[in-house]
Structures are given as C-alpha cells and as structure tokens.
A and B are shown apart, each in its own frame.
Chain A
Amino acid sequence: MTAPLLAGRGIRKSFGAAPVLRDVTFEVRPGEVHVLIGANGAGKSTLVKILYGALRPELGDLYWKDTHIPGGDLRHTAARGVAYIPQEIEVIPHLSLTENLFLGNPVRRAGWLVDHTAQAAAAASVLARVGIRRDLETKARDLSVAEQQLLMIGRALVRRVEVVILDEPTASLAPAEVENLFAVIRQLRESGVGILYISHRLDEIRRIGDRVSVLRGGALVFTGPASTPKQDLIRQMIGHDVEPGQARMPVTAAPALELRHGNLGARFRDVSFTAYSGEVLAFTGLIGAGRTSLARALFGAEPGFIGELRVHGEVARFDSPQQAIARGLALLTENPKEQGLVLTADVATNISLPNASHFSRWAWLDHRKETAVTTDYARKLAVDPPDVRRLVRLLSGGNQQKVVIARWLLSGARILLFDEPTRGIDIGAKEQVYDWIRRLAGEGKTVLLFSSETEEVLRLADRILVMRLGHITAEFPAAEATEEKILRAAFS
C-alpha cells in the first residue's frame, strides 16, 4: 500500500465545551478519490479545515508523506501542495481568466514585473487541463457556474498540487456539468494527485470515489470501499439506533398558510404545502436545499417569488415584510445577529421594532410603557438579564434569540416562520426555545420550522417536509418519520 500524502491522526477539536472532532484519523493517498460524508454538523468542515492547515487541532498530528508537520499553519500545507476548493465560488467577476488563475501568485519577471507572456502560456495549459475552452481574456463573470468551479480548480493547479480538497463541488451543477467535472477529477487522479471529496450526494460516491469515510458526531465511524451499499452508509451516518418520532395529537384544524406552485428563480421550484393551525410543520433537508429562501419568500422578503399564497384561506401577496407582518406572519431569521437584531440598540427597542403601535399614540413614543411591556415579555421568555435598556449585543446568543421571539410574541403573529432557531445557541437556551415552539403550537398558532437538524425536527414537528435542491421530495407525519427516512429523502 502506498504511503498517504496527507494524514491527520488522532485529531481532536472542540468549540467551547462542545467536542466537534474526537480522535479522527483520516488519510488521502496519492491517486485516489477519498469521499467524506456525514450529516450536517458531523464535523466535516472542521476536519477539512484542520487537514489543509486553516485550523489548529487541539490534539493529534498532521503528516505529509509520513513526516510530521505543524498543524494550523497554511504555509506548511500550501507549500507542500495542498489545495482547498471551497463550495462557494470565489472568482473575481471582472478579471480575466488569466488574472483569476494567477490571483495573488503572478509569474514574475525581474522580481516585481508581471511576466504576461509566461503567464498566458501557463494559463492556456491549465485551462486545457480543467477543460475550459475559452479565450484567455474572457472575464470570469461570463463563465457558467460550472466553468467558474473549474476555474477555481485551475487556480489550484497553477501551483504544484498533490492533494486537492473539493467541498461539495457538484452542489450547484447540472448532470452534464457534473460529468465534465468528474472527467477533470479522474484525470487529476491519474496524474497521482490525491483527492478529498466532500459530498452530500450518495449516488456520486460509486461514480467518482475509491474509498468513502463517514463522520458521525465528530467521530470517524466508517472507512471502506466506494462500492459500500447506500443503505449501509446511511446507517453509518445516523448510528444504529433509529428512533421513531413521537406520536402527537392529530391535526384537525383549519389551514393557516397554503402555498401552491411556489417558485423563486433557481432557489426552489414548484413548492406546494398547507400548514394548519396548531401544528409545527418542519422543512428539513441539507444546507442549501432552499429552506431559507422559502422562509424569506413567504415573508415577502424575496422580490422574485411567484406562487399562490393563502393566509387563513384568503389569497395573499406580500411585496414587503411589512405586509406579511400586517397579516400576522413573523420571521425568525437564521442569523439573528445579521438579520434579526439591531445591535446598536437596546433590548426594548429590538422587541418593539415591528410593534411601535403598542407604545405610541400618533407618532409619540411612550418610553415608560415600552419599558414596562417589553420587560414583561423579556421575563416571560426568561431573557437574562431582564434589563430591557441593556444593549442587545451584550447578551449571549441564546438570549438574543429569545429577544427576537419576544418581538413576535408581542406582535401577536399567528403564523411563525422559524429559520434554524437554535443554531449556535447553548443547550439550556435551546430547550427553552423548543418549549416555546411547542407552546405556540399548543395555543393554536402555526409554526413553520425550517431546520437542518434532524433531531430537532423529529422532536418538534407534527409533520415533516424534506427539501432537496429546491424541491419538496418527501412528506412524513411525525409518527412515521425516522432519521433514516429523512436522510434518505434529503440525500436521494
């Protein structure tokens, strides 16, 4: 067996008190495609960051061809030829292909001049290698998404590379483009390059992979040949104990929010569903499946959204969040710090933003009343500390999330869209948010829970819709849903 090019042995890492990787050993050998899979939050991206030197492991060592190299230092990995190609496309749109390829790494002449002739020659050969048949002076913005992806691989090939890490490269590609990309990958493999390939599509593994490894809860639980059956891989991803969902009261109430044939560009297509009063309806699936776009579109925050929307049976069309709020909708955004809160303002202001009419007569704002009412809500949600004149940025993530929930409780919203309500908050706050979601549904309100955490979805939802690449691919009542079924629908 050939010695691995790049290896991490006994890698351990935690963020705060939560362990993210536990004793992971992972190798990339020359001339192989090693596929890494795992559910959201299994630790894939942390492991990859450590392997290419962007993150220092707490414990464990990195090896290059069996020689120890220091962790958390990009200079050591990059110099030896490790290239990372992120999922997001990072080309500079208004620069030419050549300029993009040599970004930050120009061919020099006399030390400080750019050698355009040599650069053009090298660019032509790299572009041929990655299969882009375009003029060198083409601007990157004129390329298709697939070609931009290839251009990013090309950028890595400009330097001497021996290991290429690809993070879900096919996430936004059409089938024909995927085949093209695979051809480039196979050719790299034949030239002896080791490839670490992160994927969310199980059917790709057989087509492109040599070996496959599964991360679950921060541990590497399986490594085997790429021919391993899909069933086995899914079982490895979720562990052996597949829990049945809890049975809940049947939903008999009236429809609260209905969507027929909802479309938003390439983000989601032909999405239809009905959410009833008193239920928690979950939308789950992998990151990038279109959940956040759907939540924002329902709330009137996506101008390109088309679809027949009904609120409590009446046709509705929201051109702005303002109109959605007026009809009793609320949106808890996935990232409260960036989209939910005004960090320069205090807690009271953040609670009262859409609710100013509660405290104002004409345009006059009654601060005393605002303090009293928002303090009430802050206490109700156990915001700690309950001092509403405190700046909201001084609160912990969990408490900030509670401030946003308080805002929508006060607004009296009947239909609440919760987008990843517990991402990045501690367990105590998480439980409180869960309680509130169940309680709101118990009060006859409708909660649409958009979450990629399967466990959370199984625990809270009455019905579960699974999204994949902008489509709803499966629906399960809570009683029938299992982690296995959900993952299968999400990965396809």
Chain B
Amino acid sequence: MDRRSWIVGTVRRFGPLLGLLILSAVLSVVSPYFLTWDNILNIFRQSAVNGLLALGQLLVILTAGIDLSVGSILGLSTVVFAMTVKSGWPTGVAFAAALSCGLALGLINGFLLTGLKLPHPFVSTLGMMNVARGGAMLLSGGFPIPDLPPSARYPGAGSVAGIPAPVVVMLATCGVFAFLLRQTVFGRDVYAIGGNPEASRLAGIPVAARLNAVYGLSGLLAGLAALLLAGRMNAGFPLAGAGAELDSIAAVIIGGASFFGGVGTVFGTLIGALIIAVLRNGLNLLNVSSHWQMIVIGTVIIWAVWVDVLRRRGAR
C-alpha cells in the first residue's frame, strides 16, 4: 500500500510535467523550429491569458465548484478597460477599472452561491457568463474598441529584460497563488472545503466567506487576464474570451487537479496551460488544421479526467 500510494502520489505530482516533456521532445524532433528561443517565448506568451484564467479556475475547482463565467468576465473587462482609457482617464485608473470589474462580478458569483444558495455554481456562473457577455456587447455596441495608448498596452505587449510582460505577469501571479494556497490559512481552508465541506464547517471554517473569496479571486484574475489580452490585441473586444472558460477548466484538469475537489496545485495548472499551448503551437507548426487541434485537445481532456477517475478508484 505504501509503495502504491507513493507511485500514485508521484504520478499525480509529476505526471503532467512528464507529459509536457515528452510532448516537447516529440515536437522538437519533428519540427526544428519548435525548440527555438523565439518559439518558446511564443508558447509562454500564448499561455499567459489562459494561465491566469486557469489559476482562478483552480481555486474554484479545488472547492469542488466550477466557474463558467471567466471567459465572459474577461471579455467585459477588456471593454471596460478600453472604454476607460479611451475616454481620457489615466492608464492606472483603467487598470483599476478592469480589475474591479472582474472582482465585482466574481463576488456576485460567490454571493449567488453562498447568499442565494443556488444549488450549484454551474448554474449561477452559467447565468453570469451570459450576463457578462451581454454587458460587454451592450457597452461596446458590439464593436471592438481599438487603438490603445502604449502605456495601456504594456502589460500585454511590452517586455521586461527581453521577457514578454504577459509571461512575467503570469509567472509572478503563479508565484503569488502558489504561496497563497500552500502557505496561508486561506489556502488550507480552500483545500479542506473541497475535500469535505461538511467536515470543514463542523471544524469551524467560515465556508461561505472562503467561497466568496474564491469566486472573487477567480473574477479578479479574469480582469487581470483582460489587461494582457487587450494589450496584445490593441483593443477592447466584446467577444474576447468566448470559450476561454473551457480552456481554463481543461488546463486545471490536465494539470492533475481533481474535479471532485480538494486536490490540485498551481504548478500542475501552469503545466496544464503550457500543455494546451504547446499542443496548439506544435500542431500549427506541423500545419495541422485547427479542427484537428480541437479533437486532439478534447481527447487530452477526456484522458486527464479518466486518469483522475482511475486515481480515485485506486485510492479506495
């Protein structure tokens, strides 16, 4: 039993990383361009937005919940950001506006769950997904809001010491959230709530307050991702992030988190986001059509969930 649980633990911890390395090795053999510095930066840059959304999604999934609204919140936040900056406010205010927009909608998600006690976050965040997208269309009239000033574009398009700014933002945020989950009482509570909400409540954990914070943070991260995406696209775009919630869920699950809650890491999620980016990038380099890419990524998701089921069965 000891040895088996050690193997299970190791696979859980390093399985996704191993997958990423094998995938990269294969791609670097079939495509000489794959392992160039430019392409690697490219992959990281492409994974930044999804990486941030996935961090929020990770928190939510750790509590055995789900957040379907992050893509729409991202879209709305890009619009809010672009409109604020275009109407003459300083860039800093526009940053704050986008982040507040994400945080506020996330907190509403939390309130729907803990205040109105809607049965499952699937329902409440599905509602929010539509509301936020509709709001983005309404505010923007359905059109992109292009041509942002350079200072506003910096988080998405700038660079720090040769490293693209979005990559720096994503890695820094990963660091903060790894710390939050691993080293703080809040993180401890999040894992406990996902593992057993009733036991957590009976152990005196303020479950509702923690869930509100979790959904709030998920929204906030969508707002942060909006800054990167708007900068990269040089526009606020009401349709931005359509379907992004699904990519973020995929990254979390591929990264070894359990859909049943209580299990998952920031590192795994980062690897999950990178795996998705590498698959896209590699298949592009190989000129595989985007339709096939969807099929491949879908298969990987199903496989990852199946691995989770096997692990749970093995744990019995």
Contact = CB atoms under 8 A, between A and B. Distances in A.
Contact of B203 (A321, A326, A338, A364): A321
27 contacts: A301-B202, A322-B204, A322-B205, A322-B206, A324-B204, A333-B199, A333-B202, A338-B198, A339-B196, A339-B198, A340-B199, A342-B199, A342-B200, A344-B196, A345-B195, A345-B262, A349-B188, A349-B192, A353-B205, A354-B203, A354-B204, A356-B188, A356-B189, A363-B185, A391-B5, A394-B1, A394-B5
A342 B195 contact: yes
Contacts of A364: 183-184
A345 B202 contact: no
Given A344-B194, A349-B192, A321 B263 contact: no
B5 to A, nearest CB: 6
B120 interface: no
A128 interface: no
A382 interface: no
Contacts of B195: 342-345
Contacts of A325: 203-204
Given A364-B183, A364-B184, A341 B196 contact: yes
A322 B263 CA distance: 24
Interface residues of A, number: 32
A320 B263 CA distance: 26
Nearest to B184: A363
A28 to B, nearest CB: 37
A365 B183 contact: yes
A228 interface: no
A407 interface: yes
Contacts, number: 87
Contacts of B204: 320-322, 324-326, 353-354
Contacts of A339: 196, 198-199, 202
A353 B203 contact: yes
Interface string A329-371: 0010100001111111100010011101000100111010000
B191 A349 contact: yes
Interface string B108-146: 000000000000000000000000000000000000000
A412 to B, nearest CB: 13
A280 B187 CA distance: 37
Most buried by A among B185, B198, B204: B204
Interface of A: 299, 301, 320-322, 324-326, 331, 333, 338-345, 349, 352-354, 356, 360, 363-365, 367, 391, 393-394, 407
Interface in B254-298: 258, 261-263
Contact of B192 (A321, A324, A345, A365): A345
Interface of B: 1, 5, 183-189, 191-192, 194-196, 198-206, 258, 261-263, 315
A364 B194 CA distance: 20
Nearest to B185: A356
A363 B185 CA distance: 6
B2 to A, nearest CB: 9
B126 to A, nearest CB: 23
Given A338-B198, A363-B184, A365-B184, 19 more contacts: A301-B202, A320-B201, A321-B201, A322-B206, A325-B204, A331-B202, A338-B199, A339-B199, A344-B261, A349-B191, A352-B188, A353-B199, A354-B205, A356-B185, A356-B188, A364-B184, A365-B183, A365-B185, A394-B5
B3 to A, nearest CB: 12
B191 A340 contact: no
A299 B202 contact: yes
Interface hub of B184, B186, B261 (most chain A Cβ within 10 A): B184
B187 to A, nearest CB: 8
